[in-house]
Amino acid sequence: MILSDKRILEEIERGSIIIEPFRRECLGTNSYDVHLGKYLATYKDRVLDAKKHNEIVHFEIPKTGFVLEPNTLYLGVTLEYTETHNHVPFLEGKSSTGRLGIDIHATAGKGDVGFCNTWTLEISVAQPVRIYVGMPIGQLIYFAVEGDIETFYNSKANAKYNNKTTRPVESMMWKNEF
């Protein structure tokens, strides 16, 4: 079940959902709009290796915006820091973003219960598009969880994306054993 606007507000008041900064006008009927933070990153190497640590280069989006180019994976980050303690958050694109040909996540749209951080975005574009810091980039949808949680994401010893950050984070696939 997806939470409604009223239910999201109730959960924020209870402290089970935290969104910083929170702006009431960003609350939709059953979602919350998130915005593009000031940092992007790209991988240093053209060919990535899933078994190795692929390093990234961070850069700040200028006030005049930045043109994203096709055939490049950009890692972005949400302006908002979120915590979700009793619900499953899903990050989806906005229709206005999609109509510009911007995809904001390759496959990683779901957060786990206990995820406490900004959201790294895996951004790709169909054609060149100028983007800006603070532009609406996506929306969070919250799902109710059935049953008790045994291990929250933020208490897992092997959680790879627990370190609080305001910058995009590269893939940690290399930390898996395979």
* Residue keyed to tokens 């990234």: 56
Q: Which residue type is seen at 83?
A: E
User: 125: which strand partners?
Assistant: 102
150 as an active site residue: the answer is no
Contact 56, 72 (CB under 8 A): no
* CB-side neighbour CA atoms (13 Å) of 2: 12
- Spatial separation of the C-alpha atoms in residues 178 and 160, rounded to whole Å: 16
- Spatial separation of the C-alpha atoms in residues 147 and 122, rounded to whole Å: 31
DSSP string of 72-135, one letter each residue: --EEEEBS-EEEESSEEEEEEE-HHHHTTTEE--SS--BPPTT-EE--EEEEEESS-EEE-TT-
Contact 75, 40 (CB under 8 A): yes
Exactly one of 122, 150, 170, 177 is catalytic; name it: 122
Provide the annotated active-site residues. 122
